[in-house]
Amino acid sequence: MTVDDITRIAVVGAGLMGHGIAQEFAVAGYEVQLHDQSADVLGHAIGRIEGNLELLVGLGMVGQDQFGPALSRIRATASLGEAVAEADLVVEAVFEDLGLKQRLLADLDRLCAPRAILASNTSTFLPSTLAAATRRPDKVLVAHYFNPPHLLPLVELVRGEATSDETVTTVCDLLVRIGKRPVLVQKEVPGFIGNRLLVALFREALALVEQGIATPEDVDAVVTHGFGRRFGAAGPFALWELAGLDLIGEVMARLLPEIADGHEVSPLLTDRVARGEFGVKAGKGFYDWTPEAAEALRRRIAAALVAVARWSAPA
């Protein structure tokens, strides 16, 4: 199978990530079946897609003439068999539970046509572990999108031991065709690339607050008003070479013995979770959240990501 053979796409799981993934393919002209077991979740997903498209139209990233056609290409269904029967590619975006994903992959393997590629949006589980639940390990891989998927172009492609070159090339070519920026994770490793980097940063951020060195507000300010702005233009290796690897080596030699290196999750985080202080969805975390404050943050992030996309796009 090549990218030209992919015409029908199914997205299984219409929650946080699934609705945005479906939206991306629909805007790019693909017919998409969006599945979830809950009719309420499906209805909410279509509403969120409409809101996303309205935002993108307002920001000039999607034409007004694309709004209606994109929505018409998405068909929501609570029937898994109906959603995937004719799919050339299925993207799994259900809750991050290994048993759930393995059972779903087994069902997809039974319900899908033999040609269909099965891609998981997991952020942690290895593709070979998921592929073991199927009879088509050569057609299984991870396609890990970042949130929000309709605004962040990166997709990590992770191949399992049995994933074929054809499968990797086909999915990579498809993502490029719809405007994404795929990267290939060469070896299976938990957390892949992005989440390993993020967890390392968050571990140190928690340690700084736990030790009374800084408040969460000031840690966030250091990132958003400091080095975080540079990362919109260049990654760590390029920035390190701009500063000089000799200087970076000296800084690392001084700081590595001092920074957090624990293997347990900080009590600063686990205690909040135990109290039900999950963040935006609970109205409280390290910050207090109202629905209006959460929506304002989402819109500020969206506007910033669109601005970055505009000036960082290749000429």
pLDDT tens digits, 175-212? 999 999 999 998 999 999 999 999 999 999 999 999 99
Q: Are residues 98 and 35 in the same domain?
A: yes
My answer on whether 96 and 132 are in the same domain is yes
**Domain identity same for 206 and 158:** no
Candidate list 24, 52, 128, 144, residue with the active-site label: 144
pLDDT band at 233 (very low <50, low <70, confident <90, very high): confident
Domain boundary among 185, 209, 231: 185
266 counts as catalytic: no
> What angle separates helix 64-72 from helix 39-58, to the nearest 10 degrees?
160
Residues 201 and 179 in one domain: no
CA 107/CA 103 separation, integer angstroms: 6
Domain termination residue (choose one: 139, 155, 185): 185
Q: What is the mean pLDDT of residues 88-103?
A: 96
Q: What is the average pLDDT value for the chain, to the nearest integer? A: 94
Active-site residue (options: 86, 195, 266, 277): 195
pTM: 0.90
Q: How many CB atoms lie within 10 A of CB 253?
A: 9
Q: Give yes or no: residues 173 and 210 share one domain.
A: no
156 is a catalytic site residue: yes
The active-site residue, picked from 52, 120, 121, 123, is 123
Q: Are residues 10 and 50 in the same domain?
A: yes
- Say whether both 214 and 303 belong to one domain: yes
Whether 285 and 277 have beta carbons less than 8 Å apart is answered as yes
Active site residue 195: yes
Which comes out higher in pLDDT, residue 1 or 32?
32
Specify whether 212 is located in the same domain as 107. no
User: Six-digit token pair at 296?
Assistant: 């304002």
52 belongs to the catalytic site: no
- Both 246 and 303 in one domain: the answer is yes
Q: What is the domain extent for residue 15?
A: 3-185
Q: How many domains does the chain have?
A: 2
pLDDT digits (tens, 9 = 90+) for 54-65: 988 887 888 898
**CA dihedral (298, 59, 7, 78) positive or negative:** positive
Q: What is the CATH number of the domain that holds 85?
A: 3.40.50.720
**178 shares its domain with 234:** no
Would you say residue 10 has pLDDT above 50? Answer: yes
pLDDT at position 313 over 80: no
pLDDT at 315 over 50: no
Residues 220 and 256 in one domain: yes
Q: Are residues 179 and 225 in the same domain?
A: no
Cα atoms in the 13 Å half-sphere on the side-chain side of 143? 29
Catalytic residue among 35, 120, 128, 156: 156
Residue 260 contacts residue 204 (beta carbons within 8 Å)? yes
* Residue 84 near residue 117 (C-beta atoms within 8 A): no
Give percent of the chain with pLDDT exceeding 90: 86
